[in-house]
Structure 1
């Protein structure tokens, strides 16, 4: 009788461990704080301006299904840019990631031939999906990735 009880308790404990380990936690990024920290601590050459007009954001990224968006763009003299997008789910975030990558490719075409240093920034751009978020940062400064990774945990 004792051995059956021990087996039952062991199975119960094992079940809790398996269920607990398989539960997925979703990252929650404070988008405002991330954007502000990137602006304050990363060495951008150009002054970045916050874009609040949803039509401009849609035109630049073709992302129409983001829950929240923070976008900073340069004056046009550089390709520097910050984009932070929050989506309802991972599938939409994966689509958003592709659109952010397309934005980088479009910018390469725009800067090709007359600003080769900007092409290098675009080649090295940070474009990543973190759960339901997509973060893009175009800058020639390694500090940006460290800051973004800090918010990803």
Structure 2
């Protein structure tokens, strides 16, 4: 009688617990790094930011296709490069600073800089992707981009 009671209690507890999540429904991609590099051109007002995001696929057989990249509230055009299980996404956002471009304004217009939020919202940074040609879109939120210094010399030096 005592053994039967333990068996019944065991099965009640076993069926009342939530089943483990199948690996099919877990995220297939892990965020490795998110960087941004500010750049400027040779003319006043020509500047922008290059965003680089590196993702790692949990399975090499998964065909991960990034659909969209949103960084700091802006939708970014990007390129995707796959190398093994690493996925590199690079996007460029060219911005025009109105204070630097004041010579093209009509006379008498005030020079004002746009007000930016001091604390960026992490919900404004994300990547949407699909796996294995599925129509279901997955989203990864990025908490923030780390500022990185440009590599190498920006302007070649004369010898």
**TM-score scaled by structure 1?**
0.30
Structure showing greater Rg: 2
**Which structure's residues are more often strand, by fraction?**
2
**TM-score scaled by structure 2?**
0.29
